[in-house]
């Protein structure tokens, strides 16, 4: 079981930090077999994001990660790479390095073509990084030739148009790098290669059939081959969200393994459920399985799977774990917001037990609201041995998780609801349905209020997701948020056969979707959804909506029988003295709900019953 390399923003400048150490150690303690650390740049010419590790600065960090993981039996591989023309010049403020001056489609920046001195410096960089890693005591290194890598750029006809030896033999550089590293590693250390085996650009890129030949050539040089997909033209294919079915690299990996001549091969690509991983091994797809996001969602995945306990599911939402974002958010998880915060948040394995349950606290705890915040609060309290009763207004647990799960590609939020409810049941939480217990509750997680809607033909996106009956005719989705809700509702309604228009003041529809932005717009266009970006909704009346251009004020009228408001709701009402959590404080995402539910539980355990749970400072 691998925990693959990924951006975390946990670093301190370009070194691995104590946050990294705690983050990896937590997964090692949870039973992970191989931890690959965040890919470190092997040369200062590569600085793809502000906190990107630099191998030269990583020696002490690697040593600390090894020291923290080894007692748990995990191997630590140092991730090494260079992002070349897919990097950023923002931090070096110097020209990017690439095999050829082919601009990356995302940044549009023309890189400088590497000459022989730069190629040699790159090989030396890999060699020096391997030396640093060996000195730090790692069990091996993993070389990145994946979706964002200079080595893949050399291997691909999309980005390598050279006429020298590195162009006529596009694997020459990779072989030189692997040989240089192998010489440094010596015997007894692992050399792994992360290789993009499908660039999803068949006109010039690496195709699955070409990749089989590449793998056959390179496999003898390495000890582990991790099969991935993606390229500069398909960056979101590497770790896609729930719109892509899990295990999408299965066929590709099987084919590569058949050509790898016995070199172990790892399956990567949205493998998030343990049974799927086991099946891949049983079926001969791979010799190892990478479950990165699944172990961000549940650090104890392996030990839980071994002992038959239910694993907290990864929702494949990519909301908090994909942190290639200029704001430098720390890696985290909507299902487990403690991920990435191991050094500051209470460790769920310590300190919470021994509060003595009912007798210890002297009273039972009442939680109002069975959405993600209330369920998490109840779960944490019950796990600490407290007697908990949970009061839920409706007739089922999960709250807003079910609305989120109704969006396309987000069905796994149902799994999260089921896991939370299942854990509460397993831990003995008593649930009372059809009652509003907020007035007497210790923790209030009763959700937000709907925003008043302007007009009879207006419905909220939440109502649509809850299955409200809509009048027939064309729909206008007004999306001031730019997140998954507006786009998702538009997709659902278009799929039901209605003419749909999405209106947003933003320059593009779904501006906050990050990795799903381009795929989402493609889906909308293919579904025939009309997009009206840069527009402000002026009015709605019988049959039409008036939209004004945000900049010129020019108005257009679009057919509209139903207007769907995809904006956020309002905070709910909190009775005095209760600990509020989640949307009742202010409607936000599942992550905040789970986090605040957990904090409210901790506050109860600490004997605090007043104040605002959302406020970590209280």
Nearer to other proteins, 50 or 276 (CB): 50
Nearer to other proteins, 246 or 597 (CB): 597
Beta-carbon contacts of 203 under 8 Å, excluding residues fewer than 6 positions away, are none
Tell me whether residue 167 is exposed, middle or buried, using C-beta atoms within 10 angstroms of its C-beta: 0 to 12, 13 to 18, 19 or more: middle
Q: What is the DSSP-derived secondary structure letter of residue 450?
A: P
Nearer to other proteins, 246 or 587 (CB): 587
Of 116, 57, 44, 120, the closest CA to residue 83 belongs to 44
Pair 138, 184: CB distance under 8 Å: no
- Report the C-alpha gap between 402 and 181 in whole angstroms: 50
Of 232, 291, 280, the closest CA to residue 256 belongs to 280
In the complex, minimum distance from the CB of residue 533 to other proteins, in angstroms, rounded to a whole number: 8
In the complex, minimum distance from the CB of residue 552 to other proteins, in angstroms, rounded to a whole number: 5
Six token digits for residue 580: 């509020």
Sheet holding 365-368, edge to edge: 430-433, 388-392, 365-368, 443-444, 579-580
Nearer to other proteins, 189 or 535 (CB): 535
In the complex, minimum distance from the CB of residue 95 to other proteins, in angstroms, rounded to a whole number: 4
Nearer to other proteins, 385 or 572 (CB): 572
User: What are the DSSP E strand ranges found in 19-74?
Assistant: 34-36, 40-41
Nearer to other proteins, 104 or 442 (CB): 104
Six token digits for residue 8: 């975390």
- Report the C-alpha gap between 263 and 271 in whole angstroms: 21
Place of tokens 């890693």: 133
Sheet holding 535-541, edge to edge: 535-541, 543-549, 555-560
In the complex, minimum distance from the CB of residue 529 to other proteins, in angstroms, rounded to a whole number: 11
In the complex, minimum distance from the CB of residue 191 to other proteins, in angstroms, rounded to a whole number: 32
Tally the C-alpha atoms within 13 A of residue 147's C-alpha that lie toward its C-beta. 18
Nearer to other proteins, 472 or 617 (CB): 617
In the complex, minimum distance from the CB of residue 236 to other proteins, in angstroms, rounded to a whole number: 14
Nearer to other proteins, 468 or 570 (CB): 570
In the complex, minimum distance from the CB of residue 390 to other proteins, in angstroms, rounded to a whole number: 23
- Report the C-alpha gap between 221 and 228 in whole angstroms: 18
In the complex, minimum distance from the CB of residue 15 to other proteins, in angstroms, rounded to a whole number: 14
Six token digits for residue 440: 């007497």
Nearer to other proteins, 132 or 589 (CB): 589
Nearer to other proteins, 109 or 200 (CB): 109
Pair 292, 239: CB distance under 8 Å: yes
Phi, psi of 575 (to 5 degrees): -65, 145
In the complex, minimum distance from the CB of residue 330 to other proteins, in angstroms, rounded to a whole number: 9
What count of other Cβ atoms lies within 10 Å of the Cβ of residue 281?
13
CA distances from 266 to 3, 225, 228, 468 (A): 11, 6, 9, 45
Place of tokens 């958010």: 329
Nearer to other proteins, 61 or 533 (CB): 533
In the complex, minimum distance from the CB of residue 125 to other proteins, in angstroms, rounded to a whole number: 20
DSSP output for 89-101:
STTT-SPPEESSS
Q: By CB under 8 A, name the binding residues for other proteins.
A: 50, 89-91, 93-96, 101, 103, 108-112, 326-329, 337, 341, 448, 480-483, 505, 507-508, 512, 517-518, 521-522, 525-526, 533-534, 549, 551-552, 554, 567-571, 585-588, 592, 595, 612, 614-617
Nearer to other proteins, 239 or 531 (CB): 531
In the complex, minimum distance from the CB of residue 227 to other proteins, in angstroms, rounded to a whole number: 27
In the complex, minimum distance from the CB of residue 99 to other proteins, in angstroms, rounded to a whole number: 13
Nearer to other proteins, 262 or 551 (CB): 551
Six token digits for residue 599: 């904090």
Beta-carbon contacts of 380 under 8 Å, excluding residues fewer than 6 positions away, are 348, 352, 597, 598, 601, 602
- Report the C-alpha gap between 394 and 374 in whole angstroms: 13
In the complex, minimum distance from the CB of residue 276 to other proteins, in angstroms, rounded to a whole number: 31
Strand partners, 75: 34
Tally the C-alpha atoms within 13 A of residue 600's C-alpha that lie toward its C-beta. 37
């Amino acid at each position: 079981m691998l925990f693959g390399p990924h951006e975390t923003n946990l670093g301190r400048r370009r070194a691995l930090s104590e946050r990294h150490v705690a983050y990896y150690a937590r997964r090692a303690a949870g039973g992970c077999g191989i931890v690959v650390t965040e890919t470190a740049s092997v040369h200062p010419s590569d600085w793809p994001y502000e906190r990107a590790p630099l191998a030269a600065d990583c020696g002490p960090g690697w040593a600390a990660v090894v020291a923290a993981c080894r007692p748990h039996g995990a191997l630590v591989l140092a991730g090494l790479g260079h992002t070349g023309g897919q990097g950023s010049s923002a931090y070096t403020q110097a020209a990017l390095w690439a095999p050829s001056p082919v601009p990356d489609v995302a940044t549009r920046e023309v890189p400088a073509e590497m000459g022989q001195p730069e190629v040699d410096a790159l090989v030396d960089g890999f060699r020096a990084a391997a030396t640093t890693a060996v000195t730090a005591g790692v069990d091996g290194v993993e070389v990145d030739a994946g979706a964002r890598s200079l080595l893949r750029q050399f291997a691909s006809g999309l980005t390598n148009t050279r006429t020298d030896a590195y162009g006529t033999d596009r694997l020459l550089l990779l072989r030189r790098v692997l040989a240089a590293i192998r010489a440094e590693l010596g015997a007894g250390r692992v050399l792994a290669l992360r290789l993009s085996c499908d660039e999803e650009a068949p006109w010039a890129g690496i195709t699955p059939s070409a990749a089989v030949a590449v793998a056959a050539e390179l496999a003898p040089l390495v000890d582990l081959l991790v099969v991935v997909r993606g390229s500069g033209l398909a960056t979101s294919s590497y770790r896609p969200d729930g719109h892509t079915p899990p295990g999408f690299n299965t066929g590709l990996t099987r084919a590569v393994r058949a050509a790898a001549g016995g070199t172990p091969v790892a399956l990567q690509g949205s493998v998030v459920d343990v049974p799927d991983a086991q099946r891949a091994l049983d079926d001969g797809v791979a010799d190892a399985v990478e479950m990165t996001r699944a172990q961000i969602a549940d650090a104890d995945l392996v030990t839980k799977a071994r002992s038959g306990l239910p694993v907290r599911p990864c929702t494949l939402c990519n909301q908090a774990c994909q942190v290639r974002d200029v704001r430098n958010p720390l890696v985290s998880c909507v299902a487990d917001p403690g991920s990435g915060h191991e050094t500051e948040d209470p460790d769920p394995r310590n300190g919470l037990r021994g509060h003595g349950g009912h007798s210890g606290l002297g009273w039972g705890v009442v939680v109002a609201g069975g959405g993600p915040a209330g369920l998490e609060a109840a779960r944490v309290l019950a796990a600490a041995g407290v007697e908990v009763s949970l009061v839920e207004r409706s007739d089922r647990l999960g709250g807003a998780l079910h609305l989120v799960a109704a969006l396309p590609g987000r069905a796994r939020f149902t799994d999260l609801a089921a896991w939370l409810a299942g854990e509460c049941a397993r831990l003995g939480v008593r649930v009372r349905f059809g009652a509003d217990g907020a007035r007497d509750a210790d923790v209030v997680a009763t959700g937000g209020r709907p925003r008043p809607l302007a007009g009879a033909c207006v419905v909220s996106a939440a109502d649509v997701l809850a299955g409200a009956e809509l009048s027939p005719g064309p729909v206008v989705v007004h999306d001031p948020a730019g997140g998954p809700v507006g786009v998702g509702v538009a997709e659902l309604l278009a799929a039901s056969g209605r003419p749909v228009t999405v209106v947003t003041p933003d320059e593009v529809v779904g501006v906050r979707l990050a990795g799903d932005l381009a795929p989402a717009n493609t889906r909308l266009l293919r579904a025939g959804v009309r997009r009206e970006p840069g527009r402000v909704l002026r009015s709605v009346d019988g049959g039409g909506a008036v939209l004004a251009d945000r900049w010129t004020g020019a108005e257009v009228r679009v057919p509209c029988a139903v207007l769907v408001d995809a904006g956020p709701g309002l905070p709910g009402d909190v009775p005095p003295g209760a600990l509020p959590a989640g949307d009742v404080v202010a409607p936000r995402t599942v992550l905040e709900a789970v986090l605040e539910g957990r904090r409210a539980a901790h506050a109860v355990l600490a004997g605090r019953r007043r104040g605002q749970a959302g406020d970590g400072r209280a």
